Amino acid sequence: MFDKLNKKWITKHKIVTVLIGLCFTQMAVIGYKKYQVYNNVRAYLINTKGYKAQNIKKIKVTHTYLGIILGPSSYPISVVFTDEPNALYQYAGYDKIYQLGVAGKPNEGKDFKYFEKPNVSK
């Protein structure tokens, strides 16, 4: 009887250990991908768009599973620039970064300085 209970106990603990291991692996993969997206966005803003590194105040990359289903990316990106601290620019993508839009207030009622007008061709 104890042998049977011992086997069940060992089996349950193996399953729990595997599940915990999978959770930690997923957390590590997501953390690494967020790091890659951060670097891709920074390179896009500096190298492709020509913005200066000192003008970038903050880049925040988050992860969401709903983004895969409902949105353009599972890694939404928020960027704040030093000369427009009240504007929050939203980007998406992984390898190819693109701007989704902007929220907040532009400086002194002017247009948003870093807003990328959509390229609509008919």
Per-residue pLDDT tens for 8-35?
Answer: 888 888 899 999 999 999 889 888 989 9
3-state secondary structure the chain: CHHHHHHHHHHHHHHHHHHHHHHHHHHHHHHHHHHHHHHHHHHHHHHHCCCCHHHEEEEEECCCCHHHHHCCCCCCEEEEECCEEEEEEEEECCCCCEEEEEEECCHHHCCCCCCCCCCCCC
pTM of the model: 0.79
* In a domain? residue 91: yes
Number of domains, the chain: 1
**Residue 86 falls inside a structural domain:** yes
Instruction: Say whether pLDDT at 60 is over 90.
Output: yes
Would you say residue 107 has pLDDT above 50? yes
Mean pLDDT of the chain: 85
Which residues, 6+ apart, have CB-to-CB distance to 85 below 8 Å?
57
Task: Report yes or no on 49 lying in a domain.
Answer: yes
Question: On the CB side of 94, how many CA atoms lie within 13 Å of its CA?
Answer: 11
Tokens representing 12 are 């349950």
Q: Residue 114 falls within a domain, yes or no?
A: no
Residue 43 lies in a domain: yes
Instruction: Give a yes or no: residue 117 inside a domain.
Output: no
Cβ(114)–Cβ(103) under 8 Å? no
